[in-house]
Chain A
């Protein structure tokens, strides 16, 4: 603090500090505290607010725990998000390795451009693209029927569609951290492993993956979090049978009209996401400072 004033002088330092404090207090802390308060109170008509009935309780959370359908959707969202992260990892790892260790500088700059271009494009538009591709009478079904792989069109909308759309949407968040991590691996280590007779898979398992652990953890954490908090992909690519937890939250706010219960649901999602992030980073021994780059 003293350093800040010493460096910028009283006026500027005060401006900087107050801007940051307003941001943290009014936009980061206060909304979350208010959300916790909301989540703990019952949903009451205006006349009863402030009366005895308006007391803190865990009722909204217990409702989620006891409501079978919502609970099932909650757990499904968790494991489906983990699945999205796992699939994205499997899809991206070979590409990241190739870009970091095998590609020539020319190939690398083309590859980087190719993976980055789709991600400059709006998530809603990317999801729309998948919506069109996967439509019942759409191009994918027509192509598969054309080459004789399937006899009748498949209804892709649902779990499969959501998975495809989400993996697509979050590729870059997985690819870049892993690429960065593998890039710093000294190629002579790979050569040493090969000269000592290690088969390719073991070189990856014992040399590359441990080295890239931080990048892999970062990619997985971000993908999981983005998937669990996503609304577009399940709303556009899902079916009634593949509802996402965020859709339930949305319904409490704008259809069920019970903001308190919605807040409790949102808080549950937040706590879960933070827990997954922190535990994964702890397991992979990654510092939070290295994550956000």
Chain B
């Protein structure tokens, strides 16, 4: 009995250590944004300040990087949502043998290291005279972000009742109408969720983007360059703002999802 209790106590300690492991680095990074010290740290504490936030706000290069990332993310969503949805529909309609083959090809970008996707895209487009830049970043990122959209839409499609389509057809709707009025509304939550995921994946991507960026500097590249060339707590301030934004976004998404689940389906 006591052995059991010791074991349980040890496990609780392990859980606490795990939570500390998860959050200590982020907390320290966040707190360091308020320290006057020129190098971001929490020890020694040289005085509390908000100067790094205004330094970050006044950094034109940061705004340019943010704009680049935003443009890329929007374009990625515009390309990845339709293609990913189409892929999910094609895949779920295919017959079993062709299906597993097609599936393997379609998820292969997820099993490819990000740097390789960036490199192969760069090489292919150089042949036709297109160098690194926003267009190539979008192409390289959508290559694998389409897979995420496809998987999320497929998961939703599994719960779709095909008789709804047949009923609509029987009532005289055209096939395009059935798609627009029956299937698309049903897929809406999955499309919204995968749109959010696509934005997140696009903005946070570094490994693939690094190779196809040309002379562009998206946000992740901007931060990584700062770390190597002159890290000040202004970067921490930026990090803190991004973290706050992502957490708020995640909570908002979760609330929206719960509402979706509890809300009764519209007649």
A-side residues, CB < 8 A to B, are 1, 3-4, 7-9, 11-12, 15-17, 19-20, 22-24, 27-28, 30-32, 34-35, 38, 91, 94-95, 98, 114-118, 120-126, 128-133, 135, 137-139, 142-143, 168, 171, 200, 225-226, 228-232, 235-236, 246, 249-250, 253, 259, 262-263, 266-267, 269-270, 273-274, 277, 288-289, 291-293
A-B complex: 4 closest residue pairs judged by Cβ atoms:
A229-B113, A9-B175, A31-B120, A129-B25
Partner among B83, B121, B147, B223 whose Cβ is within 8 Å of the Cβ of A19? B83
**Which residues in chain B, 112-137, are within 8 Å of chain A measured between CB atoms?**
112-117, 119-124, 126-127
Chain A residue nearest in CB terms to B82:
A19
Q: How far is the CA of A212 from the CA of B115 in the complex (A)?
A: 31
**Which residues in chain B, 95-126, are within 8 Å of chain A measured between CB atoms?**
95, 98, 100, 103-117, 119-124, 126
Let me know if B142 is at the binding interface, CB within 8 A. yes
B200:A270 contact, CB within 8 angstroms: no
Contact segment of B39-47, B55-63, B185-193, B259-267: B39-47
Partner among A130, A250, A259 whose Cβ is within 8 Å of the Cβ of B123? A259
A114:B22 contact, CB within 8 angstroms: yes
Q: How far is the CA of A266 from the CA of B121 in the complex (A)?
A: 12
Let me know if B207 is at the binding interface, CB within 8 A. yes
Q: How far is the CB of B170 from chain A (nearest CB, A)?
A: 14
**Which residues in chain B, 46-105, are within 8 Å of chain A measured between CB atoms?**
82-83, 86-87, 89-90, 93-95, 98, 100, 103-105
Q: How far is the CA of A22 from the CA of B142 in the complex (A)?
A: 12
A263:B109 contact, CB within 8 angstroms: no
Q: A23-B87, A270-B112, A289-B103 are in contact. List 6 more A-B contacts (CB 8 A).
A: A4-B90, A16-B86, A23-B143, A132-B28, A269-B116, A288-B104
Partner among B124, B175, B249 whose Cβ is within 8 Å of the Cβ of A31? B124
B224:A246 contact, CB within 8 angstroms: no
For B155, the chain A residues whose CB sits under 8 A away are: 293
B-side residues, CB < 8 A to A, are 7, 11, 14-15, 18-19, 21-26, 28-29, 32, 39-43, 82-83, 86-87, 89-90, 93-95, 98, 100, 103-117, 119-124, 126-127, 139, 142-143, 146-147, 151, 155, 165, 174-176, 179, 200, 203-204, 206-207, 210-211, 220, 223-224, 227-228, 231, 235-236, 239, 242-243, 246-247, 249-250
A131:B227 contact, CB within 8 angstroms: yes
Q: How far is the CA of A38 from the CA of B100 in the complex (A)?
A: 30
B207:A168 contact, CB within 8 angstroms: no
For B151, the chain A residues whose CB sits under 8 A away are: 292-293
Q: How far is the CA of A9 from the CA of B183 in the complex (A)?
A: 14
Chain A residue nearest in CB terms to B12:
A98
Given contacts A7-B165, A27-B143, contact A139 B90 (CB under 8 A): no
Q: How far is the CA of A219 from the CA of B32 in the complex (A)?
A: 33
